Amino acid sequence: MSRIGKKPVEIPTGVTTELGGKSLKVKGPKGELSMTFVKEVNAKLEGNILTIVPTDETQRARAMWGLQRSLAANLVEGVTNGFSKELELRGVGYRAQMKGGSIVMQLGFSHEVNYTPRAGVTLATPKPTQIVITGTDKQAVGQTAAEIRSFRKPEPYKGKGVRYVGEFVRSKEGKKK
């Protein structure tokens, strides 16, 4: 039994949901998202409660049960509150600034790094060493943060690079004489 799958998804007021067969459309104040359920699970919408149940007792059905429930809950959370990730730039001369809809970063290379986010994701730079990524789709926000971080991952000797806010980077000891 899936502990996550057993929990129903509560639909808050101001959010409308349409369940047609295997597709779910969620519309809220921040936007509209949709998903298609896999064939191993069924969804039932009763009032403002969405429940996910497996079709049979196979291993895949049990695995998909909790996953599909989490994805549906993320849709509801995304259209009501949205998701955000924060990145910080550490290093001498490392900074970022917005130019139009894209972001331009100096990360210690001989050139600037330009990044244009995917649709539905917005970037902001409240400080030159901080990047805030917001959007309604949790997967898109996380993927955008991972792509920006991949330009210069934090290195273990001096800790320079792009890291998530609150991320701990274990430092290695340097060479000994």
Asked if residue 46 has pLDDT above 80, the reply is yes
User: How many domains are there within the chain?
Assistant: 2
State percent of the chain over pLDDT 70: 99
pLDDT tens digits along 129-173: 999 999 999 999 999 999 999 999 999 999 899 999 998 989 998
Q: 21 falls in which pLDDT band (50, 70, 90)?
A: confident
Asked if residue 74 has pLDDT above 80, the reply is yes
Final residue before a domain boundary, out of 80, 103, 124: 80
Asked if residue 116 has pLDDT above 70, the reply is yes
Asked whether residue 52 is domain-assigned, the answer is: yes
| DSSP codes of every residue in the chain | --HHHHSPEEPPTT-EEEEETTEEEEEETTEEEEEE--TTEEEEEETTEEEEEESS--HHHHHHHHHHHHHHHHHHHHHHT-EEEEEEEESTT-EEEEETTEEEEE-SSSS-EEE-PPTTEEEE-SSTTEEEEEES-HHHHHHHHHHHHHTSPPPTTT--EEEETT---PPPP----
Please enumerate in sequence order all residues whose Cβ is within 8 A of that of 118, keeping only pairs 6 or more positions apart, or say none: 140, 143, 144
Asked whether residue 174 is domain-assigned, the answer is: no
Asked if residue 4 has pLDDT above 90, the reply is no
Instruction: Output the domain CATH number for residue 25.
Output: 3.90.930.12
Average pLDDT over residues 93-109: 93
Question: Which pTM value belongs to this model?
Answer: 0.88
Mean pLDDT of the chain: 92
Residue 51 has a pLDDT of: 92
Report the residue count for the chain.
Answer: 177
> Residue 25 corresponds to which tokens in the numbers above?
């459309």
Asked whether residue 141 is domain-assigned, the answer is: yes
> Residue 164 corresponds to which tokens in the numbers above?
């998530």
Average pLDDT over residues 64-85: 94
Same domain as 88, residue 73: no
Asked whether residue 148 is domain-assigned, the answer is: yes
